Amino acid sequence: MAMLIEMYEQQYGVLTADITSKIGKLPSVSGSERRTLVTELDRHLEECNELLEQMELEVREMKATEQPRLRTRLESYRVELGRLQQEFKRARSASSQESYHESSEHFS
């Protein structure tokens, strides 16, 4: 089971790195590329939530002596994911407002 948690942690790490990268790109893209990026980010964030749920299930099956250490790691992953979700929300909102202002300037 420990190997399964390690696999989940690796997947989580890859996903969060990709999420961070894509959030950084969000303000500089528009149109269909932006919609694609937002869709990918939504999907990746959902996958991260699912991985954390799977890790939680695995932790419950571990020996009681191993659980506190793993629960602490899980909690740090949850905090990190919450931060990424907030960053995504801000970036999506900011770039939406910029797009609105740019399009309204074209009509002025």
Q: What is the CATH number of the domain that holds 64?
A: 1.20.58.400
The reply to whether 25 falls in a domain is no
Write down the residue that tokens 């659980």 correspond to.
67
Dist. CA 6–CA 70, nearest whole Å: 11
Q: pTM of the full predicted structure?
A: 0.84
Dist. CA 85–CA 4, nearest whole Å: 25
Residue 97 clears pLDDT 80, i.e. is over it: no
Concatenate the DSSP letters of all residues of 4-71 into one string.
HHHHHHHHHHHHHHHHHHHHHHGGG--HHHHHHHHHHHHHHHHHHHHHHHHHHHHHHHS-TTTHHHHH
The reply to whether 47 falls in a domain is yes
Q: Which residue range is the domain that position 7 belongs to? A: 2-19+33-106
Q: Average per-residue pLDDT in the chain?
A: 90
